[in-house]
Amino acid sequence: MLLALGCAGAGAAAQELGGKDEPITSGRPDFVESSEGIGKGRVQLEAGLLSERARGPDGREHTLSTPTMLRVGLADTLELQIESDGRSVLHSRDPASGARTTQAGYADSTIGLLWHVADARGRLPSTGVLFDATLPTGSRLLRGEGVRPSLRVVGSWELPGDMQLGVMPGLAVEHDDEGGRYTHGLFGIGVEKRFDARLRGVAELALPQIASSRHGGTQASAGIGLAWLLTHDCEIDTMFSRGLNHNTPYASFTVGLSIRR
């Protein structure tokens, strides 16, 4: 019901605007961000449910979270982004005793700016730069230390066969368990295939953290997903990812909804 009402509202807003703009472009469900903003005066909400499962010598963990992003078009090439993993619930099981525990709380918030630097031209990609900072606003159990900035550059190339290649390198600052700060790399590469006017598929390799073992090691996963355009301003999506090393949850699954007004 909520899905239908949200999409109906977005569709009505599109009719008021004359429906002359392009269909909604969402940053979901993959790791690689969009290089283009939503446009001046537009507001877009991207929300989902994420399930992650991890296992290791300390036991098994299952985390449910509600990643949400609000995008506000400040100008045709500049966009404000506010996001958070929202409400998170962690279920864990001790392998020795079999004891189960549950922890819940709210994740930190991130605020940033996306600048669409250039449109695609010839062999040159559509390019965007995203600068953001994560703030210690979450619940005590989930709150990080201090402000953690990151900088990402996104390039998108149009390929034959209604395909698109996206590449996103970047750097981010984090705090370690000893109270120090360290900088780690991040990288994502994905291919999008548009099957028709409504359905698109994505496949990607995501490395949200490239770091030494002292700082948690490198995290890496591979995933595939689908997104379906319900209306001009409403899209639903889903994605499954598999961890490629022991530092990464071995399986994650997400479903989401994006609405533009």
Q: What is the pLDDT of residues 146-155, one digit of tens each?
A: 999 999 999 9
pLDDT higher than 90, residue 226: yes
Terminus-to-terminus CA distance in the chain, angstroms?
A: 19
Pairing of strands 148-159, 126-135: antiparallel
Q: How many CB atoms lie within 10 A of CB 31?
A: 22
Cα torsion 225, 62, 84, 180: sign: negative
- DSSP letters, 189-217, are EEEEEE-SSSEEEEEEEEEEEE--GGGT-
pLDDT at 13: 44
Query: Which residues lie below 8 Å from residue 180, measured CB to CB, with a gap of 6+?
Result: none
Q: What is the mean pLDDT of residues 11-36?
A: 73
Quote the tokens at residue 74.
């400040």
Q: What is the pLDDT of residues 40-81, one digit of tens each?
A: 999 999 999 999 999 877 788 999 999 999 999 999 999 999
7 falls in which pLDDT band (50, 70, 90)? Answer: low
Is the entire prediction scored with pTM above 0.75?
A: yes
